[in-house]
């Protein structure tokens, strides 16, 4: 009986260990906030700017609290905050604490992005996208996005790129011309060699005829007269 009980207990123990491992792995980074692969942007004064932020969780969310904050010389100023009840459910209310800011995210795409309309130089700086999922027992997660505001966008000097592309293109063109000349030269040499062979065969036939070899006709010599 003990053996049977032990056999029944072993799979349950393995299943429990597997569940604990999965929970542990997910718990390391259960919630992740991301501002994209390029977490900065250079915008022209007076333009409209999108500050991107998405979240992901392998254990799901429940009353996910998120907010955007602006770092004003070391003082964090709240820009916007709200609570997402659960997956694919939009927040019931969104509080905005800064002018010219609009929430454009959607929980259906795990998006909590915002737009700043008509940015000014005062809007430049670091913005933090913060998230807290109660399922994780109080763990906080955040991502930083940096906004630069300029009078005009810098013109990128493509001179070096154009020179490199021109050199590469010219090299390819020269290589193609060289290959064409090579093939044409080989073709001409092959024709000349073929013509020389024909000339040798023709001259060989003429020599055989003159020397009276097989296949040639020779003029018979007259029979000497008897005295």
Q: Which of 36-40, 98-102, 222-226 has the lowest mean pLDDT?
A: 222-226
Mean pLDDT for the stretch of residues 79-108: 96
Instruction: Return the closest-CA partner of residue 143 out of 39, 29, 220.
Output: 39
Residue 7: predicted pLDDT:
47
Residue 219: predicted pLDDT:
54
Q: Is the dihedral of CA 104, 109, 113, 118 positive or negative?
A: negative
Give tens-digit pLDDT for 159-191.
777 788 878 888 898 888 988 888 888 888 887
Residue 52: predicted pLDDT:
97
Work out the burial of residue 31: count CB atoms within 10 Å of its CB; fewer than 13 is exposed, 13-18 middle, 19 or more buried. buried
CA pair distance 92, 85, nearest whole angstrom: 8
**Confidence band for 227, pLDDT divided at 50, 70 and 90:** low
Residue 170: predicted pLDDT:
81
Give tens-digit pLDDT for 94-111.
999 999 999 999 999 999
Decide: helix, strand or coil at residue 30. Answer: coil
DSSP 8-state code for residue 24: H
Mean pLDDT for the stretch of residues 135-139: 83
CA pair distance 39, 36, nearest whole angstrom: 6
Mean confidence (pLDDT) of the chain: 81
Q: Which of 53-62, 86-95, 211-220 has the lowest mean pLDDT?
A: 211-220
Cite the beta strand spans of 87-184 per DSSP E.
Answer: 94-96, 101-103, 114-116, 125-132, 140-150
CA pair distance 130, 16, nearest whole angstrom: 33
Nearest-Å Rg of the Cα atoms of the chain is 44
| CA dist 185 → 136, 171, 188, 198 (Å) | 77, 21, 5, 20
Instruction: Return the closest-CA partner of residue 42 out of 198, 153, 137.
Output: 153
**Confidence band for 206, pLDDT divided at 50, 70 and 90:** low
Residue 156: predicted pLDDT:
60
Residue 81: predicted pLDDT:
98
């Amino acid at each position: 009986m003990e053996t049977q009980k032990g056999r029944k207990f072993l799979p349950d123990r393995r299943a429990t260990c597997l569940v604990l491992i999965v929970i542990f792995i997910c718990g390391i980074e259960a919630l992740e906030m991301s501002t994209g692969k390029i977490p900065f942007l250079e915008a022209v004064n007076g333009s409209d700017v999108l500050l991107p932020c998405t979240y992901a969780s392998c254990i799901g969310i429940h009353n996910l609290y998120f907010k955007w904050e602006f770092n004003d010389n070391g003082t964090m100023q709240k820009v916007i905050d709200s609570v997402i009840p659960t997956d694919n459910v939009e927040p019931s209310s969104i509080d905005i604490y800064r002018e010219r800011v609009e929430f454009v995210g959607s929980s259906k795409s795990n998006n909590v992005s915002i737009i700043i309309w008509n940015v000014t130089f005062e809007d430049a700086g670091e913005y933090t996208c913060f998230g807290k999922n109660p399922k994780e027992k109080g763990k906080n997660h955040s991502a930083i996005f940096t906004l630069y505001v300029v009078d005009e966008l810098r013109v990128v000097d493509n001179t070096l790129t154009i020179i490199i592309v021109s050199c590469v293109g010219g090299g390819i063109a020269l290589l193609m011309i060289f290959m064409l000349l090579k093939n044409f030269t080989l073709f001409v040499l092959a024709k000349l060699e073929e013509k020389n062979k024909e000339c040798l065969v023709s001259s060989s036939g003429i020599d055989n005829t003159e020397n009276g070899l097989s296949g040639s006709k020779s003029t018979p010599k007259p029979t000497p007269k008897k005295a």
